[in-house]
Amino acid sequence: MAQLSVERESELKRRAARGGVLRRFAKQLDIQMMVLPGILLVLVFSYIPMYGVLMAFQDYSIFNGFLASPWVGLKHFRMFFESPEFYEVMRNTIVISLLKFFVGFPAPILLALMLNEVRNMAFKRIVQTVSYLPHFLSWVIVAGLVMSLLSVDNGSVNILMQKLNFIEEPINFLSIPNYFWTILVTTGLWKEIGFASIVYLAAIAGVDPSLYEAADMDGASKFKQIFLITLPSITPVVIIFMILAIGNLLSAGFDDILLLGVNPVLRDVADVIDTYVYRVGIQSSRFSYATAVGLFKAVISVGLLTMANYVARRSGHSLW
């Protein structure tokens, strides 16, 4: 009887919880409806197309479709692992991703910390506007600017270096593999650093001013205040964005690499998983093979995200 009463009590609690959720949903119906377009967007463009991963396990033919194409198991995954391009593609992806992570992740935090210390509001607004603007330019425009700056014929960089007697003849920067990673990371940093700093500036603005006043009374310098107050206060935001960045670690880039690495000479250092999938899948019509490579990247990314979230959970801040 005691066991039955406990079970009945648990069932009543579950029903009450479900009833509470439904009541809250009904009260917030207008707000919940605002979420509906976002849910539909995710379903249509993220979940429904997921049936396409079946191609990775088939010799897919557009004439036979998904149902009639023969199943081949892990054939295309083995082909990728045994491909002579596997090492090159993985090396480029990992190196470019790590460079972007270690340079591009802390840079917006540093910019936000510096902007927070600026007391001249007019100068602060100018710096913010100038640093934000590149984010709103498409990669086509940015790549065109970079190509123009680094051009052999009348490129500003070559002209300046010649005027300063650093070089005698113009250098074709975008045809020399040793320069490509530096150009790519620097361009990406210039484009995104300002916009990425907005979240950190907002987090810093939420720090209790009384903490800084107390630190001033104790004689703490600005650097000490940054390290002892500002950074610990925005740590939850930093950790969340770090988890997301680690989850996207294999997304070394597509638009920037495709546009800046258009020179075939750069393929050895510019071909990453995303551009490789585009090249073999779209240009060569090897749909099943490209899907297998993309699925491999997705699985590794999910694993990295889960691992990063597990480690971050120990600090008390995680995505789930």
CATH number at residue 126: 1.10.3720.10
74 burial (CB, 10 Å; 0-12 / 13-18 / 19+) is exposed
35 occurs within a structural domain: no
196 occurs within a structural domain: yes
pLDDT tens string 127-186: 999 999 999 999 999 999 999 999 998 889 999 999 998 888 899 999 999 999 999 999
31 occurs within a structural domain: no
Q: What is the pTM of this model?
A: 0.85
319 occurs within a structural domain: no
75 occurs within a structural domain: no
The Cα–Cα gap between 223 and 245 comes to: 27
17 occurs within a structural domain: no
184 occurs within a structural domain: yes
* Residue 117 domain boundaries: 83-313
28 occurs within a structural domain: no
Tokens of 127: 């710096």
pLDDT tens string 93-138: 999 999 999 999 999 999 999 998 888 889 999 999 999 999 999 9
Total structural domains within the chain: 1
Tokens of 42: 């995710």
